[in-house]
Amino acid sequence: MAASMRANITRPGHRDVGHRRKREPPGALATAYLVIYNVVMTAGWLVIAVGLVRAYLAKGSFHGLYYSIEKPLKFFQTGAILEILHCTIGIVPSSVILTGFQVMSRVFLTWAVTHSVREVQNEDSVLLFVVAWTVTEIVRYSFYTFSLLNHLPYLIKWARYSLFVVLYPMGVSGELLTIHAALPYVQKTGLYSITLPNKYNFSFSYHTFLILTMVSYIPLFPQLYFHMLWQRRKVLGHVEDCRKAE
């Protein structure tokens, strides 16, 4: 599920998913690398945001804005694969499996759906999830950067735990509508499908796979969304209690 927000917060510089592990903080070299990585990713998603705004101002329409940010979107979304490596080598404590699932689900939507089925690139639903991803990632990577530097502004913390209320449903809606829009073209062309007979006696329907992917959102979305609401109450509620105590 290419969720637009992450389900949990552990340590900065990685997907906030999975169970917390009791590990030592990353060393100075690893911390420096993670700061650089998060700064670069923040800048990359800012480039995408600026590209969207400039294209809209030039065209005066939301239609077809995807083409103005297609290359940086593919580059920086694919760059998130490094977050799986971060978990694998242990410089961040997130689950490798869950991080890999979340990262690759977005990469899948970017390459195996939006890139592969060019007919959907003009759909407004693509812009819906791209905008949600962009705002989410700017906030997320900024949050990680400032956390690593031990200087986290309250505004960024608030945004990290509040904007998902709108952005998560917005992103999920865009993802589902985009996959749905791709179904007729996938069925018509047989994209990525394997039919019988063949020497391996194996068949695969990419059309069916996409439908099952959409169905998987049904149990996953409510769990992640309500978990994030719980996280918001836990983190921001604690901050408010501290302020009242002062």
* Better pLDDT: 98 or 58: 58
Q: If pLDDT is split at 50, 70 and 90, which confidence band does 246 have?
A: low
CA-closest candidate to residue 130, choices 177, 180, 69: 69
User: Is pTM beyond 0.85 here?
Assistant: yes
- What's residue 10's pLDDT? 44
The answer to whether 184 touches 48, Cβ cutoff 8 Å, is: no
Reported as a single tens digit per residue, the pLDDT across 130-149 is 999 999 999 999 999 999 99
Q: Any catalytic annotation for residue 83?
A: no
Q: If pLDDT is split at 50, 70 and 90, which confidence band does 124 have?
A: very high
Calculate mean pLDDT across residues 202-228: 95
pLDDT averaged over every residue in the chain: 89
Calculate mean pLDDT across residues 159-166: 97
Q: If pLDDT is split at 50, 70 and 90, which confidence band does 21 have?
A: very low
Calculate mean pLDDT across residues 97-120: 94
CA angle 101, 138, 45 (to 5 degrees): 85
Q: Which residues of 85-120 are buried (b: 16+ CB within 10 A; e: fewer)?
A: ebbeeebbbbbbebbbbbbebbbebbebbbebbeeb
DSSP letter at 119? G
CA-closest candidate to residue 34, choices 155, 151, 149, 153: 149
Calculate mean pLDDT across residues 58-63: 90
Burial of residue 228, with CB atoms counted within 10 A of its CB: 0-12 exposed, 13-18 middle, 19 or more buried? buried
Does the pLDDT value for residue 237 go beyond 80? yes
Q: Any catalytic annotation for residue 24?
A: no
Residue 211 has φ and ψ, to the nearest 5°, of -65, -45
Q: Which one of 66, 137, 175, 206 is the catalytic residue?
A: 175
- What's residue 20's pLDDT? 43
Does the pLDDT value for residue 23 go beyond 70? no
Q: Which one of 37, 141, 161, 168 is the catalytic residue?
A: 168
Calculate mean pLDDT across residues 157-170: 96
Spacing of C-alpha 132 from chain mean position: 9
Distance CA 96, CA 170 (A): 27
